[in-house]
């Protein structure tokens, strides 16, 4: 029995470590964006600082591609310098994301450009692009949601049949205009509530997402 336990323990430990990592990344994925972003967006900041710095980073990256296509080596070098400076600065802007800007792919890109080998340059660009993509997929929507969209709870509408004031959530429960009939609005069929129908607005009997 003891031999059996000893044999299984490392396997269980590995599984536990793997599961902890998985739960950690799922928590990060569904959790809110880092709170230090608060200071980089209005109202704390006068402008959306992170967004503007990102546009700068994207500009620097596409500038390199343009200069490469024109075989303008001098500007490619200057562009890479500008890109790396911005990349490093961004890695320090949001402490929680510091590890999301690895140095390796950028150094590989610089070495590839120096080599002048188009295949190496292409692969190295893809490596840098993957860094951008990974964070964008995980965080862009959350950042838009928190800092760019209004608060849906603050939207007030009036019921077109009764004129009664409705919160966004209750209006979603009860009606939608005929032009939106095919668009599912509420994902939860428990949100369906009876409401008076009229010629223009009908009770949303299809207030649930179509099942796959
Ligand atoms: C650690 C996270 C992270 C990394 C890494 C990252 N970004 Fe971003 N990026 C964001 C977030 C979050 C936004 C959304 C900001 C907003 O909309 O306010 C964004 C937005 C952008 C935008 C603006 C898109 C638009 O039109 O709204 C550009 C351009 C951009 N990033 C370029 C890049 C490039 C190029 C890289 C890689 C070299 C990169 N980003 C790496 C988080 C990241």
Range of the domain at 189: 152-203
What is the per-residue pLDDT for 211? Answer: 41
The dihedral sign for the CA sequence 88, 93, 95, 101? negative
Q: Is residue 7 part of a domain?
A: no
Is residue 95 situated within a structural domain?
Answer: yes
The answer for residues whose C-beta is within 8 angstroms of residue 105's C-beta and 6 or more apart is 124, 127, 128, 130, 131
- Same-domain status, 69 and 107: yes
Clarify whether residues 103 and 183 are in a common domain: no
Same domain, 113 and 50: yes
In this structure, the answer to whether residues 59 and 128 fall within a common structural domain is yes
Residue 54 lies in a domain: yes
Q: Tell me: do 142 and 42 sit in the same domain.
A: yes
Query: Ligand 1, from 132, 137, 139, 149: best to mutate by most atoms within 8 Å of Cβ?
Result: 132
Q: What is the mean pLDDT of residues 149-160?
A: 76
Q: Are residues 126 and 170 in the same domain?
A: no
**Residue 100 domain-assigned?**
yes
Rounded to whole angstroms, the Cα distance separating 132 from 141 reads: 14
What's residue 201's pLDDT?
A: 37
Q: Using the atom order of ligand 1, give the atom closest to the CA of residue 143.
A: 12
Q: How far apart are CA 192 and CA 173, in angstroms?
A: 5
What is the percent of the chain with per-residue pLDDT over 90, rounded to a whole number? Answer: 56
Q: Is the pTM of this model over 0.85?
A: no
101 CA to centre of ligand 1 in angstroms: 12
Q: Whose CA is nearest to atom 40 of ligand 1?
A: 132
Report for 17-31, 88-102, 142-156, 170-184: range of highest mean pLDDT:
88-102
Model confidence over 170-198: pLDDT tens digits? 776 665 555 555 444 444 433 333 333 33
What digits encode the pLDDT tens for the residues 58-110?
999 999 999 999 989 899 999 999 999 999 999 999 999 989 999 999 999 99
Q: CB of 123 within 8 A of CB of 105?
A: no
Count of domains in the chain?
A: 2
For residue 120 the two structure tokens come to 């190496």
pLDDT at 112 exceeding the cut of 70: yes
Which residue's CA is the nearest one to ligand 1's atom 37? 132
Comparing 9 with 53, which gets the higher pLDDT? 53
Q: Are residues 163 and 193 in the same domain?
A: yes
Give the per-residue pLDDT at 173: 64
CA distance 91 to 124: 19
Query: Is 3 inside any structural domain?
Result: no
Residues 6+ apart with CB under 8 A from 15: none
Encode pLDDT of 34-62 as tens digits: 999 999 999 999 999 999 999 999 999 99
Confidence of residue 120 (pLDDT cuts 50, 70, 90): very high
- The Cα 28–Cα 22 span in angstroms is 10
Query: For residue 48, what pLDDT is reported?
Result: 94
- The domain that holds 42 is classified in CATH as 1.20.120
Q: Which residues line ligand 1 (CB under 6 A)?
A: 48, 50-51, 54-55, 57-58, 61, 97, 100-101, 128, 131-132, 135-136, 139-140, 143-144, 147-148
For 38, other C-beta atoms within 10 Å of its C-beta total 13
**Average pLDDT of the chain to the nearest whole number:** 80
């Amino acid at each position: 029995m003891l031999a059996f336990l000893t044999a299984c323990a490392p396997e269980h430990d590995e599984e536990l470590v793997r599961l902890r990592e998985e739960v950690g990344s799922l928590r990060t994925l569904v959790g809110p964006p880092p709170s230090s972003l608060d200071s980089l967006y209005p109202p704390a900041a006068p402008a959306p600082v992170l967004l503007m710095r990102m546009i700068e980073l994207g500009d620097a990256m596409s500038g390199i591609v343009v200069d490469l296509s024109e075989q303008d080596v001098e500007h490619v070098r200057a562009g890479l310098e500008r890109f790396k400076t911005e990349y490093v600065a961004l890695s320090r802007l949001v402490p929680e994301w510091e590890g999301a800007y690895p140095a390796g792919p950028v150094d590989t890109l610089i070495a590839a450009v120096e080599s002048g080998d188009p295949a190496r340059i292409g692969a190295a660009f893809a490596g840098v692009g993957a860094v951008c993509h990974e964070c964008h997929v995980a965080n862009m929507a959350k950042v838009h949601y928190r800092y760019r969209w209004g608060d849906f709870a603050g939207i007030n509408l009036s019921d077109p049949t009764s004129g009664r004031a409705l919160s966004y959530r209750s209006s979603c429960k009860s009606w939608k205009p005929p032009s939106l009939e095919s668009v599912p609005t509420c994902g939860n069929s428990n949100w369906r509530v009876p409401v008076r129908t009229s010629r223009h607005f009908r009770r949303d009997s299809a207030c649930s997402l179509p099942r796959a």
